[in-house]
Amino acid sequence: MHIMEGFLPAEHCIAWTAVSAPFVVHGGMRLRKIMREHPQMRLTLAASGAFTFVLSALKMPSVTGSCSHPTGTGLGAVLFGPPVMSVIGAIVLLFQALLLAHGGITTLGANTFSMAIVGPWVSYGLYKLFRSLGLSLALGVFVGAAVGDLATYVTTSIELAAAYPDAASGYVGAFLKFMGVFAITQIPLAVAEGLLTVIVMNALSQKTDVLNELGLIQGRPT
């Protein structure tokens, strides 16, 4: 992740784009509502997008011959919900494909599904679960961001295995091989992303009262 331009067969590109499109459309509607009702949140929305862009553009060499990077989508998912993050993530991926040759246009749907849809939903779901159990904000944010990062790479491995099943062990064997490429470097990166997201969230929740007033963060860290 990101899957590069031309790497997936055309039918897979079309299929992942079709799967991702409803999430992005719904996210656009949610984003428009937030912008209309809470125009003061524009800077925070922009900051969430910048956070995602910078972190997911930090390609780090992997000892397995690929590269890894954080995703940065957990922060926006917790603040604004995963629908909004699907739009922000898709925009980030588009600009990275056009400006950095990181990812691709034909693979935009697949990359959006893994990084801008699955990752944020996992992050948000775990965050809400931990908060409903009465656990601290910091723990919920950390686990959500870290596991959401890993969920992105699991989804990418599923996408790649579906396109290129192993000749001997089939889809499952291919999935395990792709996961093996990512796992060694991605696990520590996910932990680091979780910690960084907690730091940013603590700063926002302590200094930006509007987030609490709008109910985007439930409770301050203790």
Domain ranges of the chain: 10-213
Q: How does the average pLDDT of the chain come out, rounded?
A: 87
Helix, strand, coil content of the chain in percent (nearest 5): 75, 0, 25
In this predicted model, what pLDDT tens digit does every residue of 120-135 receive, in sequence order? 999 999 999 998 998 8
- Residue 66 is predicted with a pLDDT of 60
Domain 10-213 fold: Arp2/3 complex 21 kDa subunit ARPC3 (1.10.1760)
Is the model's pLDDT at 210 over the cut of 70? Answer: no
More confident residue, 83 or 179: 83
Q: How far apart are CA 138 and CA 208, in angstroms?
A: 16
Is the model's pLDDT at 65 over the cut of 60? Answer: no
> Mapping DSSP to helix (H, G, I), strand (E, B) and coil, where does residue 143 land?
helix
Residue pair 97/106 in contact (Cβ under 8 Å)? The answer is no
In this predicted model, what pLDDT tens digit does every residue of 138-187 receive, in sequence order? 899 999 999 999 999 999 999 999 999 998 889 999 999 888 877 778 88
**Residue among 163, 182, 147, 176 at smallest CA distance from 73:** 147
Q: How far apart are CA 62 and CA 182, in angstroms?
A: 8
- Residue 222 is predicted with a pLDDT of 28
Could you tell me the pLDDT band of residue 221, with boundaries at 50, 70 and 90? very low
> Mapping DSSP to helix (H, G, I), strand (E, B) and coil, where does residue 60 land?
strand
Amino acid at 13: C
Could you tell me the pLDDT band of residue 202, with boundaries at 50, 70 and 90? confident
DSSP assignments along 198-221, one per residue: HHHHHHHHHH-HHHHHTTSS-S--
